[in-house]
Structure 1
């Protein structure tokens, strides 16, 4: 196992889980980091947040809009260019659109949009990432990690669209875990059972980031669930 880390790619960066996970991984020698978000204006703030802990981090920021399926290949080609000669080692898929959705009243087009971002988008990134991760299984610790929520198994009607998408996403990544665990690529979910807020003892971004690192290092199961009691 090489002591040199590959790159971490965060799809769906932001001031919460995405940037905190990137900063935690950077503190554990992941110095090459690529951040993607549909809101490019906040990416540089995320990069500075990571550099505040790891000044030597080499960070690239790129836009991606997973709701536009036809644009995804070009966005991932830009990631390939940003990677250069650095092998991909870890992907964190953290893209989501969070908000209320009322059963029956929620427009079908909005449900389809959510599915494109969270499920089709996750699959598209996996199609791109898994072959690269398989290539480094002998000398790195390749992983595909995905943030999820307890609503995948205990849905809330008030956010049924998010619940439906998290169920599909969980099924996809769990299937990936079964398929690739014996082939050398670890696929797992970080299941957050509550609202992410600084004041919460468990469901705060810093704790979630630490739990994500422990999940990545220990590789005991296909998920870790984080809940405030």
Structure 2
């Protein structure tokens, strides 16, 4: 089990925006092991180098190229991470595809693919992660086992020209709420970060660094006052 001196973070959907900055934020604040997952091995290597540089090479960062829509490959990768880095204290789900899909003009398969990334693969991840996070909560009162998810305002205010993603994000929020209702009382913080616009490094609030800082604030909330979601707008 993870301990106060061994705190692994698994980040699904690494990349130069939110994913990399979340990893840097958590690694700079005492998470000593980081596992990065994404399709693109070259981009993962760039993220790995950035995190190591941000923490003076004090963080163990490993990369795992994987197609998370392939359940068998995804679970095998998570099992490998557990063997190499230990049980995660935080499981961060940042995977998404942002693309146009016009209402009644796009193919139905666009709905299916966005649902797969945002919901079905998150469901697979949760089935793997939740039992481990519950066990960690039982074993270590000082741990803060968490499953956190990046989302947007689409579940609350859908965009017709992005209807597939809007539908998938609404379903994702519904499922994550259900997880919070069941496993929150068992000691696992289930939370969502709703990003209310395009991520922009020059924006005061929508910069990836500010989003990462706000996410750390969500994670650090007192256990008796943990909230389900925050909006970054």
Structure 1 segment 161-176 matched on structure 2, within 5 A: 161-176=164-179
Structure 2 match to 1:224? 230
C-alpha contact (below 8 Å) 1:5/1:29 kept by paired residues: no
* 1:70 Cα deviation after fit: 4.2
The separation in 2 between residues aligned to 1:67 and 1:110, in whole angstroms, is 14
Counterpart CA distance in 2 for 1:117 and 1:101 is: 15
Q: Which runs of 5+ in 1 are unaligned?
A: none
The number of residues matched between the two structures is 225
The 5-angstrom pairing of residues 82-161 of structure 1 reads 82-83=84-85, 86-137=86-137, 138-139=139-140, 140-161=143-164
TM-score by length of 2: 0.92
Structure 1 counterpart SS, 2:194: strand
Structure 2 residue ranges without an equivalent (≥5):
none
Distance change >3 Å, CA 58–CA 2, structure 1 → 2: closer
Question: Within 2, Cα distance between the matches of 1:214 and 1:5?
Answer: 21
Contact kept, 8 Å, 1:69 with 1:116, in 2: the verdict is no
The 1:68–1:2 alpha-carbon spacing in structure 2 relative to 1, beyond 3 Å, is closer
Q: Deviations for 1:128-163, whole angstroms, at most 9, x for unmatched residues?
A: 000111111142110000000001110000111111
**Cα RMSD, aligned residues only:** 1.5
2:82–2:88 Cα contact (<8 Å) kept:
no
Q: Does residue 200 of structure 2 align to residue 197 of structure 1?
A: yes
Task: Kindly provide the CA deviation profile for residues 47-87 of structure 1, in whole angstroms up to 9, marking residues without a partner as x.
Answer: 1111111111001100121233443222323323332xx33
Residue 34 (structure 2) aligns with: 33
Query: What is the rounded CA distance, in whole Å, between the counterparts of 2:107 and 2:168 in structure 1?
Result: 15
User: For residues 216 and 98 of structure 1, what CA distance do their matches in structure 2 show?
Assistant: 25
